[in-house]
Structure formats: C-alpha cells, structure tokens
C-alpha cells in the first residue's frame, strides 16, 4: 500500500494540471461587416442567451472579430501602437462597451483576427494586452483561411511549431486562455500539436443537412479527443436550413449527438437577424 501511495498522489497531481474538456458554449459569430444593420451589444447578449438556452448545460459564448482583413494585412478595431508591418491600428475602440456588458451578463467571447500577413505573435499581444482584463474573454482565435493570404479565403496551413508558439503566447497572458484555429479543411490545421487548442470548422455550401453533419462529424473524429467547434447558418446553406422549425437548435443538437468532443456552437452573423430577430 505504501508503494502505491506516491503513484496515487502523482496521478492526482497530473489530473489537476491537465486541462479538461471545456464546458459547452453556444452563441454567435460577430463581425463589423456581417450584419446589414448595426446591432447594439445588448442584442448580442440576447442572441448568446437564446442560443445557449437550446442546449442542456450550455452557456452563452461568441466569436468577436477585432481584426479584419485589410489590404495585405489586418485592421484592428481599437487604438494601439506597433511597428509591425501589415498591422493597422484603429482610431477608436469599437469593442470595450460590448466586452464590459459581456462581463456583467456572463457571456464568454473569443477575440478573433483575420491576420493576412500581420505578425501573429504581435497580434496576440496587442489584442490580449488590450482586453485581457475582461472576465468575458476566454481566448484568441485565428481564421486560418486568411492567414498569410489576402487574395482568396484559403490561407496557409499552420505548422505544429506555429501552433505551439501561438498557443504558448496566448496562455502567457492567462493560463486559462485557449487558442482556436478555424478552417474547413483539416489539412490546414497543425498535423499533431493539440495542447490548448480548439479546432473550429466553418464549412458551408452543403447540399443538405446530412452532408453538413457528415463533414462536421469527420472533422470531430479527426481531432478527437481535442475539443472542436462549429460555425453554421451561412446564406449558401439557407435553402435547406430555412425549412427547419428551429434551425439553430436542430442543427446544434444533431452535432452534439454525433460529435462528443464538441464544445462550441456558433450561428453566423450573416443570417442572425433571420433566426434571432431583435426582441422588443
């Protein structure tokens, strides 16, 4: 028994130090260009709450894009100082009010960039140094479709070395933070590195829901047991999801049933007003 005790203690210590599967989050993707009419932060809280209410145990969560593709680099929607080429700082802060409200209302958000050729480590530091004080912030996201790409949404595959470097840079701001990498093709994701990363699929243009579920299920299996998430609700898929009684709930629940390592579900802003109309 005495010989086993140190092993038991070691196992408990390792379990305590190993991050478990994140809690389920459900909500929205936000960008400055995705919604035809600007909506106030209270609307996004409402979407997060209504989306999360559809799934047992889910909490409101969103993707909040703070860096838009601009020319060959990225435009950040807040003031900052940097000498890095291909990073342009905005004149006013467009995120502080929303993040402060999210803090108060329990909405968790990822801060995402469309980097183009902007230096990723510099972007991580600029974004998380600016907003890391907010309790609502849970991590940093990279849309790989625009990584080192400005001409078409394809991007450059992320290496294991890059993924590790980015993940460590994110968690240097807080050990609780995670990195997400987003694309529709697993070949653009790091081949082996998984630590501290959520892999998000934003595939679209499916013939029907069965085709989406098959593709998304393959994504989940490819990265299992690492956590995965999904963006859906695109206009290209509207011909079939608009026929559902509850598109967000039915799609999301089917994915949860089929893909056990799912931790995030996001309805995209391009059609959010159709599925989550503003509440009076």
pLDDT tens by residue, 86-100: 999 999 999 999 999
Above pLDDT 70, what percent of the chain? 92
* Domain assignment present for 8: no
Q: For residue 152, what pLDDT is reported?
A: 74
pLDDT band at 21 (very low <50, low <70, confident <90, very high): low
* Domain assignment present for 259: yes
* Domain assignment present for 41: yes
pLDDT tens by residue, 105-128: 999 999 999 999 999 999 999 999
Domain count, the chain: 1
Contacts of 184 (CB under 8 A, 6+ apart): 145, 201, 202, 203, 204
Two structure tokens written together for 36: 């035809």
* Domain assignment present for 18: no
Whole-angstrom distance, CA of residue 130 vs CA of residue 163: 22
Whole-angstrom distance, CA of residue 49 vs CA of residue 152: 34
6 burial type by CB count under 10 A (0-12 exposed, 13-18 middle, 19+ buried) = exposed
Considering only residues 154 and 51, tell me which one the structure prediction assigns the higher pLDDT. 51
Whole-prediction pTM value? 0.91
| Residue 153, CA distances (Å) to 143, 144, 185, 188, 194 in order | 9, 9, 12, 12, 24
Whether residue 36 is predicted with pLDDT greater than 90 in this model: the reply is: no
* Domain assignment present for 110: yes
Whole-angstrom distance, CA of residue 12 vs CA of residue 6: 10
Whether residue 30 is predicted with pLDDT greater than 50 in this model: the reply is: yes
* Domain assignment present for 16: no
Which domain range does residue 123 map to?
Answer: 24-275
Two structure tokens written together for 70: 């601009």
Whether 52 and 60 have beta carbons less than 8 Å apart is answered as: yes
CATH, residue 123: 3.20.20.80
* Domain assignment present for 5: no
* Domain assignment present for 4: no
């Amino acid at each position: 028994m005495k010989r086993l005790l140190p092993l038991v203690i070691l196992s408990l210590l390792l379990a305590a130090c190993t991050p478990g599967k994140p809690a389920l989050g459900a909500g929205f993707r936000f960008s400055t260009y995705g919604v035809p009419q600007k909506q106030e932060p209270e609307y996004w809280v409402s979407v997060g709450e209504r989306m999360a209410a559809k799934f047992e145990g889910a909490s409101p969560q969103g993707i909040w894009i703070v860096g838009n593709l601009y020319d060959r680099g990225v435009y950040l929607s807040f003031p900052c100082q940097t000498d890095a080429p291909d990073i342009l700082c905005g004149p006013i802060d467009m995120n502080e009010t929303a993040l402060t409200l999210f803090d108060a209302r329990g909405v968790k958000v990822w801060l995402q960039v469309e980097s183009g050729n902007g230096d990723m480590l510099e972007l991580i530091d600029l974004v998380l140094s600016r907003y890391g004080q907010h309790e609502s912030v849970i991590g940093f996201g990279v849309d790989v479709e625009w990584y080192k790409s400005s001409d078409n949404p394809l991007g450059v595959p992320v290496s294991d070395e890059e993924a590790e470097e980015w993940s460590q840079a994110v968690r240097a701001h807080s050990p609780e933070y995670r990195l997400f990498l987003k694309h529709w093709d697993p070949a653009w994701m790091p081949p082996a590195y998984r630590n501290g990363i959520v892999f998000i699929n934003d595939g679209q243009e499916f013939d029907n829901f069965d085709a989406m579920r098959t593709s998304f299920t393959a994504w989940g299996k490819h990265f299992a047991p690492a956590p995965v998430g999904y963006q859906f609700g695109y206009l290209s898929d509207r011909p079939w999801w608009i026929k559902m009684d509850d598109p967000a709930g039915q799609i999301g629940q089917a994915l949860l049933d089929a893909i056990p390592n799912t931790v995030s579900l996001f309805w995209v802003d391009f059609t959010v007003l159709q599925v989550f109309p503003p509440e009076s």
